[in-house]
C-alpha cells in the first residue's frame, strides 16, 4: 500500500479507487451483511449458497461483497442486491433456500422475491 | 416480517456506512471521503477544531451527554508533555449493541475521529478500550488500524502536517464498571477496575495521570460527518438542547428488533410503533426501559415524549447508551427492577459501601417482594435506601443503580401494592404468588404434566381430567410449559 503523504495524495487516491470501480455499474452486486448477529443467523451459509448458485449457473457478471450490520436484526440474514442500473433492494430472512431463489429469480430474471425490507431512513453521504 | 412505515423517520449519521461498505476495506471508506475530515482538520488550529465541535452541539453518546467540544476544550487547555484520546468501546449495558454495530460495520469512522480528537486536544496517543466479548469488532478494528498505518494515515507526520498519532487496543475483561471512565482508565493501567472520585476529571488527570479524553464509539462516529458537513448542519438536527441523532437498540417485546438511528426529538410512540412495529402477538404495550441498569421505565403516559437528554431525565429515566427494552402486558415491573438489581449487584466493584452493600440489600427486598413475602414497610425502607445510595455512592454505577426501582415504584405503584398487600402478581410472572389449577373442561388426561411434575402433586386417572394438589405445588411452572391443551391456568 502506498503512503498517502498529503491532502492531494488522498484526493488522488480516492479518484483512483472510484475509477477502478466504474465497471461495477454494469455488474450485479450482492452485498451480504456479516456482523456478529448476521453470522449467527446464518449469513455465511447464505453467502456460500449464493456463490455456489452463481457458479452453477455460470453467471459472470456478479460481484460479492460483505458489509457490517444493516440494522434489521428482526430479519437476519439480510442481503442487499443491486441489479445493473437499478436501486439496491434489501431482502430479509435469507436462508439457504431463499439465497438460491434470490439468484435464480431476482438476479437472473429480475423477478422480486418476497421479504423485501423497505427503505425507511435517510442516509447521510459525505 | 411486519410492515414498517416507509416514511423516512430514520436519519443515519453515526451508522451512515453500516451495511453499505466492507468494514475490512479502507478503500471503501476512502471512496466515501474517508480521512478527508482528518486532512481538513490538520489545516485548522486545535482551538478551531474544538470550537467547531462545540458549535455543533455534539454531546456524549455514552449516556452522560456532556458537551463533547467543552470536554475537548478543557483537555486542550491543560498543559502536559503527553495527553491521551481514549475510545470507550466497553458497551456493558444488557441489550445494547449500537457500538458493536459501528465497530463491526465502519471501524474507520472511529479511527479517523480519534485522530481528529487527538489533534484537537494535543494528544499523539490514543487507545481503544474494547470489551473482549466483541471478537469480530476487535478483528475489524485491528485491520482498520493496520490499514490506516500502511497508508500513513496513522503514525508520524500525517498528511505531511507534522502531526503524529497512533492508537493501541486495550481489552476489557467482563466488568460492567469498566465502562465508567475512571475505572476504565485504571483497567487500562493494569489495575483492578475501580472508579475514583471526580474531580480531578480525566481531562485534567486521567491515563497515567495525564490529560485524557474518554469518548464513546457513537460520539466518535459522528465527528467526521460534523467536520465535513459543518457545525450548522449538525445543530440544525434535533432539539434545542440535544443536537443530531441517537442510535437506539430496540429489544424485548417488539416486532422489529434491531438498531435504529433517529433525530433527537423523535417521539417514543414513533420509535416503538411506527419504526418498531409495536408489540408482537397482539399484546398490549406496557413500558419501555431506557438507559439499561441506570435508567427507568417509561409507560403509556410518556409515549409522546420527544426523546432528548433532558426530557428522559425529567421522566425519571435517562438516555443512557441507547438500549431500549420494550415490555408488554405479560411483564412484571417488579421482576424487571429485580433483574436489573441482580445485574448491578453482580457488577458492583465493591469499593464503596453504599453500592457494595446497598445493591445486595435492594436485591434482597425485591426478591422478598417477588416471592410474596414483602410488606408495605419494605417498600418504604427500599425507597429510603434508594435515595440514600443515589446521594452517597462513589460512581455512576452506584448512583444510578436505584433508578429502575424508583422509576417503576413511581409509574407502576399499583404492581408493587398488589405484590405486598394482595400477594398477587398482576402480570402472572412471579411464580411464588401464582396458583396453578387444571381446567377440567379442557384437560384430556394425557398425563404429560404428571410426568414432569418434580413433586408429583398432579393426580388423576388416564384420559380423565387431572387435579393439582395446591398444598404441595412448588409453582415451578413445568406443567404449564408441558401442557398441549392450554388446560393449566395460572393466576
CATH number, residue B416: 1.20.1440.230
> Are B123 and B67 part of one and the same domain?
yes
Count, residues in chain B:
491
The answer to whether residue B5 sits within a structural domain is no
Distance of CA B198 to the CA centre of its chain: 23
Same domain, B108 and B41: yes
Find the domain containing B211 and state its range: 26-233
The domain boundary, picked from B306, B328, B350, lies at B328
Q: Are residues B301 and B388 in the same domain?
A: no
Cα distance between residue B7 and residue A25, in whole Å: 28
> Cβ of B99 under 8 Å from any chain A Cβ?
no
Q: How far apart are the first and last CA of chain A?
A: 24
Does residue A3 sit within a domain? no
User: From the list B13, B105, B159, which residue is nearest A35 (CB)?
Assistant: B105
A56's CB contacts (< 8 A; 6+ apart) are none
Nearest CA in chain A to B38: A7
A18 occurs within a structural domain: no
**SS3 at position B240:** coil
Structural domain range at position A97: 26-116
Is residue A86 one of the residues assigned to a domain? yes
Q: Is B91 on the interface with A (CB under 8 A)?
A: no
Judge if pTM exceeds 0.90: yes
Query: Are residues B137 and B222 both part of a single domain?
Result: yes
User: Among the three residues B309, B328, B347, which one is the final residue of a domain in this structure?
Assistant: B328
Q: Which residues of A touch B258 (CB under 8 A)?
A: 71-74
Instruction: Examine residue A126 and state whether it is found in any structural domain, yes or no.
Output: no
Evaluate if residue A1 carries a pLDDT over 80.
no
pLDDT at A2: 81
Residue B214 within any structural domain of the chain: yes
| Cβ contacts of B455 within 8 Å, gap of 6 or more | B472, B473, B474
For A2, counting Cβ atoms within 10 Å of its Cβ (0-12 exposed, 13-18 middle, 19+ buried), the class is: exposed
Query: How many whole angstroms separate alpha carbon A100 and alpha carbon A56?
Result: 11
Using CB atoms, which residue from B23, B43, B147 is nearest to A68?
B23
Average pLDDT over residues A64-93: 95
Give domain status of residue A124, yes or no. Answer: no
How is residue A67 written as a grid cell? 458489509
Q: Do A120 and B5 touch (CB under 8 A)?
A: yes
CATH of the domain at A62: 3.40.30.10
- Please tell me if residue A80 touches chain B, with a CB cutoff of 8 Å: yes
Nearest CA in chain B to A36: B136
Cβ–Cβ of B8/A35 closer than 8 Å?
no
Query: Would A14 be classed as within a structural domain?
Result: no
Are both B286 and B393 inside the same structural domain?
Answer: no
Residues B370 and B270 in one domain: no
**Residue B6 sits at the chain A interface (C-beta within 8 Å):** yes
Of the candidates B36, B134, B275, the beta carbon closest to that of A120 is on: B275
Q: Residue A125: closest CA among chain B residues belongs to which residue? A: B16
Q: What is the DSSP string of B444-490?
A: ----HHHHH-TT--EE--TTS--EE-TTT-----HHHHH-SSS-EEE
- Distance between CA B273 and CA B279 in Å, rounded? 8
In whole angstroms, what is the distance from residue B411 CA to residue A7 CA?
56
Handedness of CA B398, B401, B405, B407 (dihedral sign): positive
B46-56 helix and B107-121 helix, angle to the nearest 10 degrees: 120
| Dist CA B6 CA A119 (whole Å) | 6
| Angle made by CA atoms B81, B84, B85, in degrees to the nearest 5 | 150
Write out the three cell numbers for B124.
499523539
Closest CA to B80 of B204, B189, B186, B214: B204
Nearest CB neighbour to A71, from listed B5, B21, B259: B259
Residue among A9, A74, A122 whose CB faces B258 most closely: A74
Could you count the other beta carbons within 10 Å of the beta carbon of residue B486? 10
**Is residue B444 in a domain?**
yes
Cα–Cα distance, A80 to A65 (Å, whole number)? 10
User: Which of B303, B326, B323 shows the shortest CA–CA distance to B315?
Assistant: B303
* A7 with B13: Cβ contact below 8 A: no
User: Do B314 and B380 belong to one domain?
Assistant: no
- ipTM of the complex, rounded to two decimals: 0.96
d(Cα B401, Cα B386) in Å, to the nearest integer?
8
Are A4 and B153 in contact (CB < 8 Å)?
Answer: yes
What is the CB-side half-sphere exposure of residue B299 using CA atoms within 13 A? 13
Contact indicator for B86, B215 with CB cutoff of 8 Å: yes
Give the pLDDT confidence score for residue B431 in this predicted structure. Answer: 87
Stretch 243-302 of chain B: residues touching chain A, C-beta under 8 Å: 255-261, 275, 277
Residue of B nearest to A114 (CA): B1
Q: How many domains does chain B have?
A: 4
Looking at the structure, do residues B295 and B397 belong to the same domain, yes or no?
no
Contact B12 A70 (CB under 8 A): no
Nearest to B318 by CA among B252, B388, B401, B214: B401
Is the domain of B450 the same as that of B374?
no
Same domain, B349 and B401: yes
Regarding whether B62 and B141 lie in a shared domain, the answer is: yes
* Structural domain contains residue B18: no
What is the C-alpha radius of gyration for chain B, rounded to an integer number of angstroms? 26
Give the count of domains, chain A.
1
- How far is Cα A114 from Cα B194, in angstroms, rounded to an integer? 52
Q: CB of A39 within 8 Å of any CB in chain B?
A: yes
**Domain final position from B290, B310, B328:** B328
Examine the domain organization and report whether B206 and B277 are in the same domain: no
Looking at the domain assignment, is residue B3 inside a domain? no
Which chain A residue lies closest to B21 (C-alpha atoms)?
A67
* Residues lower than pLDDT 70 in chain B: 1-6
Query: Of B124, B182, B206, nearest to B157 (Cα)?
Result: B124
d(CA B70, CA B59): 9
A120–B39 C-beta distance less than 8 A = no
- Residue B238 belongs to a domain: no
Residue of A nearest to B150 (CA): A1
Amino acid at each position: 500500500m502506498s503512503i498517502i503523504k498529503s491532502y492531494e495524495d488522498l484526493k488522488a487516491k480516492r479518484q483512483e479507487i472510484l475509477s477502478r470501480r466504474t465497471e461495477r455499474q454494469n455488474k450485479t452486486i450482492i452485498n451480504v451483511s456479516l456482523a456478529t448477529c448476521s453470522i449467527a443467523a446464518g449469513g455465511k451459509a447464505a453467502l456460500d449458497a449464493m456463490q455456489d448458485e452463481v457458479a452453477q449457473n455460470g453467471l459472470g457478471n456478479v460481484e460479492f461483497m460483505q458489509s457490517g450490520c444493516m440494522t434489521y436484526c428482526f430479519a437476519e440474514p439480510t442481503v442487499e442486491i443491486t441489479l445493473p442500473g437499478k436501486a439496491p433492494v434489501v431482502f430479509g430472512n435469507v436462508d439457504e433456500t431463499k439465497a438460491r431463489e434470490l439468484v435464480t429469480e431476482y438476479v437472473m430474471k429480475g423477478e422480486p422475491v418476497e421479504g423485501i425490507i423497505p427503505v425507511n431512513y435517510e442516509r447521510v453521504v459525505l | 416480517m411486519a410492515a414498517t412505515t416507509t416514511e423516512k423517520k430514520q436519519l443515519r449519521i453515526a451508522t451512515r456506512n453500516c451495511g453499505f461498505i466492507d468494514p475490512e476495506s479502507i478503500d471503501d471508506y476512502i471512496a466515501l471521503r474517508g480521512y478527508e475530515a482528518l486532512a481538513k482538520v490538520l489545516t485548522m488550529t486545535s482551538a478551531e477544531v474544538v470550537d467547531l465541535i462545540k458549535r455543533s452541539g455534539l454531546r456524549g453518546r455514552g449516556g452522560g451527554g456532556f458537551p463533547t467540544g467543552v470536554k475537548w476544550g478543557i483537555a486542550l487547555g491543560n498543559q502536559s508533555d503527553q495527553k491521551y484520546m481514549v475510545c470507550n468501546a466497553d458497551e456493558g449495558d444488557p441489550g445494547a449493541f449500537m457500538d458493536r454495530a459501528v465497530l463491526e460495520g465502519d471501524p474507520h469512522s472511529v479511527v479517523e475521529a480519534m485522530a481528529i480528537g487527538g489533534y484537537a486536544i494535543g494528544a499523539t496517543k490514543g487507545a481503544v478500550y474494547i470489551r473482549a466479548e466483541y471478537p469480530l469488532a476487535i478483528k475489524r478494528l485491528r485491520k482498520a488500524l493496520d490499514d490506516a498505518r500502511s497508508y500513513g494515515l496513522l503514525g508520524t507526520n500525517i498528511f505531511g502536517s507534522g502531526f503524529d498519532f497512533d492508537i493501541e487496543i486495550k481489552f476489557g475483561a467482563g466488568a460492567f464498571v469498566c465502562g465508567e471512565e475512571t475505572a476504565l482508565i485504571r483497567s487500562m493501567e493494569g489495575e483492578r477496575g475501580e472508579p475514583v472520585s471526580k474531580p480531578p476529571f480525566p481531562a485534567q488527570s486521567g491515563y497515567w495521570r495525564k490529560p485524557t479524553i474518554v469518548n464513546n464509539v457513537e460520539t466518535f462516529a459522528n465527528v467526521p460527518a460534523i467536520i465535513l458537513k459543518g457545525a450548522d448542519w449538525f445543530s440544525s438536527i434535533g432539539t434545542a438542547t440535544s443536537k443530531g441523532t441517537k442510535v437506539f437498540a430496540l429489544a424485548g417485546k417488539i416486532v422489529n428488533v434491531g438498531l435504529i438511528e433517529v433525530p433527537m426529538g423523535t417521539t417514543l410512540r414513533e420509535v416503538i410503533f411506527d419504526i418498531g412495529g409495536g408489540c408482537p402477538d397482539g399484546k398490549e404495550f406496557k413500558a419501555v426501559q431506557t438507559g439499561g441498569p441506570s435508567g427507568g421505565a417509561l409507560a403509556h403516559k410518556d409515549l409522546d415524549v420527544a426523546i432528548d437528554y433532558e426530557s428522559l431525565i425529567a421522566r425519571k429515566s435517562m438516555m443512557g447508551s441507547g438500549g431500549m427494552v420494550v415490555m408488554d402486558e405479560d411483564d412484571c415491573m417488579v421482576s424487571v427492577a429485580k433483574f436489573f438489581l441482580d445485574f448491578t449487584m453482580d457488577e458492583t466493584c465493591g469499593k464503596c459501601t453504599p453500592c457494595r452493600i446497598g445493591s445486595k440489600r435492594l436485591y434482597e427486598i425485591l426478591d422478598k417482594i417477588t416471592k410474596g413475602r414483602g410488606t408495605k414497610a419494605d417498600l418504604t425502607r427500599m425507597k429510603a435506601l434508594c435515595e440514600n445510595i443515589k446521594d452517597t455512592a462513589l460512581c455512576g454505577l452506584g448512583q444510578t443503580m436505584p433508578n429502575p426501582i424508583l422509576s417503576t415504584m413511581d409509574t407502576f405503584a399499583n404492581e408493587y401494592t398488589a405484590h405486598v398487600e394482595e400477594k398477587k402478581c398482576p402480570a402472572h410472572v412471579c411464580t411464588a404468588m401464582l396458583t396453578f389449577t387444571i381446567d377440567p373442561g379442557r384437560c384430556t388426561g394425557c398425563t404429560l404434566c404428571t410426568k414432569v411434575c418434580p413433586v408429583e402433586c398432579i393426580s388423576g386417572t388416564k384420559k380423565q381430567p387431572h387435579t393439582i394438589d395446591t398444598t404441595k405445588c412448588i409453582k415451578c411452572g413445568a406443567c404449564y410449559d408441558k401442557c398441549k391443551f392450554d388446560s393449566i391456568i395460572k393466576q
